[in-house]
Structure 1
Amino acid sequence: MGASAADRLLYLLKTRGPQQAADAGAILGTTAEAARQQLTKLATSGLVESYSLSRGVGRPSQFWKLTPAGHNRFPDTHSTLTVQLLDTVRHAFGEGAIDRLIDMREQASREVYRQELDDAADLKERVARLAALRSREGYMAEYEELDDGSLLLIENHCPICAAATACQGFCRAELAVFELVLQAKVERIEHILKQARRCAYKVTPFGN
């Protein structure tokens, strides 16, 4: 397993969460031992770490997950500059100027998404198209259909995390945009800013 395999392992842990070496190896098409050796190297570099999880009888299972340094391999888009600009706008023009910036970004996103989703056949197709759009924007997005028939929009990465941390209005605006363009109820059930591994949104038809 070479350097590209290390990147694939990091991507796997980013998008799928903690994994056992055997499962990671199976997904990547290699042996459990080869995956374990690569994970150990990544741990030495401070990018991953292991922990034990008891599953009843027998020895605890070993899982691997990204460290904060590992998450930082998937960087926030121009994070330092973005936060500095937001602080400058806030100090120079007040909180109202920040709200206006968020409104303008919300309007721009809403128009782009509406154009792309306008002729979608149903809610599932709208969610699928939105996930594709968000992936192109760097959110590493995907969707799942749940057992109860609802849909789950998943964003494994937040390329504006620093900006959203400094100004959480960005997150509120995105939720409003999602509901509008999906024409459905959208509930955020996991949130990166609340220390979750990802952001996840449960999508259900209005009235359900």
Structure 2
Amino acid sequence: MKQSSTKDMILLLLKKNKSLTIAELAEKVAVSEIAVRKHIHFLEHDKLVKATVVRQPIGRPVNYYELSVKGQEAFTNHYESFSVGLLNDIEKLYGKPMVYELFHHRSKRMEEEYKRHMTSDSFRDQVEELAAIQERKGYMVELEKQNDKAYTLKQYNCPIWNIAQHYKSICGHEVKLFSDVLADSDVKAEKTIISGEVCCTFQITQKSQ
């Protein structure tokens, strides 16, 4: 396996699992622990991962590795035209209400874009198309069917993570967007990356017919 692809796999695993040990990474990547330590060394040198020492009831402490802020940023900013700097400038010039107005216009634009792709009246088809759109936009999506009227949508990446750190209200716009494009459905955000969770989790339920 090529060195670069192994590093990418390690970063992706840390993105999806919050924190892992050398042994856990070696098992998931299917390489030796020595090889993983070498890759982790370079990733730490590049400030993409950081280690936390966790004491064990028995034996030596164990290092758990997770993405650093720089590592998180490596997954973001590839799909979103907004920039934190621009929004900060707008806030200084015109105040926060103008920033919120931009978020509103962004949501309306995205709603129109999503609805163009969601032509089916089927609840299942609409949810699956929403998941496909989010995947194309870089959200690293997992869709789990609970039953015919309920799905769990997980997003392991947030392309607007930097913005959400400064303007948390943008997360609420995402919930509203999903509710608006999914006809006759209830959408609730249960977990968010910005609050420290490994993924954003949404419960999508079809309203009673």
TM-score (structure 2 length as normaliser):
0.77
Show the counterpart of 1:131: 131
Q: In the alignment, is the contact (CA less than 8 A) between 1:138 and 1:157 conserved in 2? A: yes
2: distance between equivalents of 1:200 and 1:150?
Answer: 13
Q: Please say if residues 123 and 206 of structure 2, whose CA atoms lie closer than 8 Å, have aligned partners that are also in contact.
A: no
Please give the alpha-carbon distance, in whole angstroms, between the structure 2 residues aligned to 1:105 and 1:172: 13
Give 5+ residue unaligned stretches, structure 2: none
Any residues of structure 2 matched to 1:35-184 within 5 Å, and which? 35-51=36-52, 63-77=64-78, 82-119=83-120, 121-123=122-124, 125-146=125-146, 150-183=150-183, 184=185
- Given that 2:11 and 2:67 are in contact with CA atoms closer than 8 Å, whether structure 1 keeps it comes out as yes
CA distance in structure 2 between the partners assigned to 1:54 and 1:151 by the alignment? 38
Rounded Cα–Cα distance in structure 1 between residues aligned with 2:48 and 2:177: 34
What is the 5 A alignment of 1:180-199?
180-183=180-183, 184-199=185-200
Query: 1:70-129 deviations in whole A, cap 9, x for unaligned?
Result: 2232233599x7223223333333444333322211111111111212216333x32332
Change (3 A) 1:89 1:78: farther
Measured against aligned partners, the alpha-carbon deviations of 1:161-195 in whole angstroms (never above 9, x if no partner) come to 23233333322211111112223211111112222
- Hey, what's the Cα distance between the residues in 1 that align with 2:69 and 2:144? 26
Give deviations 1:109-156, integer Å, cap 9, x for gaps.
111111212216333x32332122112223222322348974221222
Alignment partner of 1:24: what SS?
A: helix
Aligned positions of 1:12-23 closer than 5 A = 12-23=13-24
For the residues of structure 1 that align with 2:64 and 2:110, how far apart are their CA atoms? 38
SS of 2:139 mapped into structure 1? coil
Q: Report the equivalent of 1:28.
A: 29
Q: RMSD of aligned C-alpha atoms?
A: 3.4
1:128 and 1:54 map into 2 onto residues whose CA distance is 43
Q: Following the alignment from structure 2 to structure 1, what is the Cα–Cα distance between the partners of residues 45 and 89?
A: 39
Offset of residue 28 of structure 1: 3.0
- 3-state SS, counterpart of residue 19 of structure 2: coil
For 1:188, give the aligned amino acid: A
